Amino acid sequence: MKPYERLSKLYDKDWGKYSSKYTDLISNVIETYNLNVHSILDVACGTGILASELYSRNFEVSGIDISEDMINIARKNTDGIDFQVADISDFTFDKRFQMITCAFDSINYLTCDVKMEKTLRNILLHLDDNGVFIFDINTPTLYEERHFGIIDRSFDEIKFKQILEYDKEHKIGKTIFDFGNNESETHIQKAYSVDEMDKFLLKSGFKIINRYKDFKLSPIDDKAYKIFYVVKRQK
């Protein structure tokens, strides 16, 4: 099964709730940097939870995701948002946005340098001259300390296993969702350090405004499991 083919129907019951917390992050960033934001593109929008929250706050919102299953749910959940099935590295809109978001470690799904650079450049093309790009990454610390073992899950009487594996040498995290009856999804991510992510951003034409370790904009440290980036176009 392809990623999110089965998981899409269960996503909102757990993981999707995390995406909605980005509204706090976005509000804090807008207030901290006195930004003028009306149009937002949510990249890797999943079932559209964050996009829907932003739309309810009167932002003009669009969303893309490579999973048709996720986009189909997003379209059913919220009218008024332009949801498209598209790859994060080559989506196309005929306009630019004042803010682009990419929530819930979706950037970690880019496991090779070429795809990462192509994605960042494409996002830059769709960003307004004074716009900001907000996203987060899972750090190697998270994968080393948390990404192992088996988690038993149950939603609406649907039971499945979440199997976590991490190859430290190649910095590759694997998550297998085993639904039984030979039905499973495998999700592959790569861990990125701050230094690595910084280099990708600078090479792709971004300027780093700041990095944080949580939604409250707390400073990062060496033990952070996640890093939240706020970046903009280099002048």
Give the residue carrying structure tokens 């739309």. 55
Residue 50, in any domain of the structure? yes
Q: Within this chain, do residues 74 and 148 fall inside the same structural domain, yes or no?
A: no
Rounded Cα gap, residues 90 and 87, in angstroms: 6
Q: Are residues 173 and 121 in the same domain?
A: no
Residues 67 and 129 in one domain: yes
Cβ neighbours of 228 (radius 10 Å): 22
- What residue numbers bound the domain in which 82 lies? 7-138+192-233
- 42 plus 115 within the same structural domain: yes
Q: Do 100 and 116 fall within a single domain?
A: yes
**Both 116 and 33 in a single domain?**
yes
Note whether 79 and 108 are same-domain residues: yes
Residue 57 lies in a domain: yes
Amino acid type, 134: I
Q: Is residue 35 part of a domain?
A: yes
Asked if residue 204 and residue 91 are part of one domain, the reply reads yes
Residue 91 lies in a domain: yes
Residues 202 and 195 sit within 8 Å (Cβ to Cβ)? no
Based on the domain organization, do 32 and 107 belong to the same domain? yes
User: CATH no. for residue 94?
Assistant: 3.40.50.150
For 135-191, give the DSSP string: EEEE-HHHHHHHS-EEEEEEETTEEEEEEEEEETTTTEEEEEEEEETTEEEEEEEE-
Q: Where are the beta strands (DSSP E) in 26-116?
A: 39-43, 60-65, 82-85, 97-102
Whether 212 and 185 map to the same domain: the answer is no
Name 223's Cβ contacts closer than 8 Å, sequence gap at least 6: 141
Is 2 inside a domain boundary? no
Supply the DSSP string of 92-136, one letter for each residue. --SS-EEEEEE-TTGGGG--SHHHHHHHHHHHHHTEEEEEEEEEE
Instruction: Give me the tens of pLDDT residue by residue for the chain, a chain 235 residues long.
Output: 888 998 999 888 888 777 778 999 999 999 999 999 999 999 999 999 999 999 999 999 999 999 999 999 999 999 999 999 999 999 999 999 999 999 999 999 999 999 999 999 999 999 999 999 999 999 999 999 999 999 999 988 899 999 999 999 999 999 999 999 999 999 999 999 999 999 999 999 999 999 999 999 999 999 999 999 999 999 8
Is 14 a domain residue? yes
Establish if 198 belongs to a structural domain: yes
Q: How far apart are CA 135 and CA 22, in angstroms?
A: 9
Q: Which of 153, 174, 189 lies at the terminal end of a domain, its last residue? A: 189
The gap from C-alpha 15 to its chain's centroid, in whole angstroms, comes to 12
Helices and strands, counts by H and E, the chain: 7, 11
- CB of 185 within 8 A of CB of 6? yes
Q: Which helix (H) or strand (E) holds 78?
A: none
Is the same domain home to 72 and 145?
Answer: no
Domain count along the chain: 2
Q: For position 157, what pLDDT does the model report?
A: 85
My answer on whether 99 and 151 are in the same domain is: no
HSE-up of residue 74 (Cα within 13 Å, Cβ side):
31
pTM for the predicted model, two decimal places: 0.96
* CA–CA distance, 194 with 235 (Å, rounded to integer): 22
Is 46 part of any domain? yes
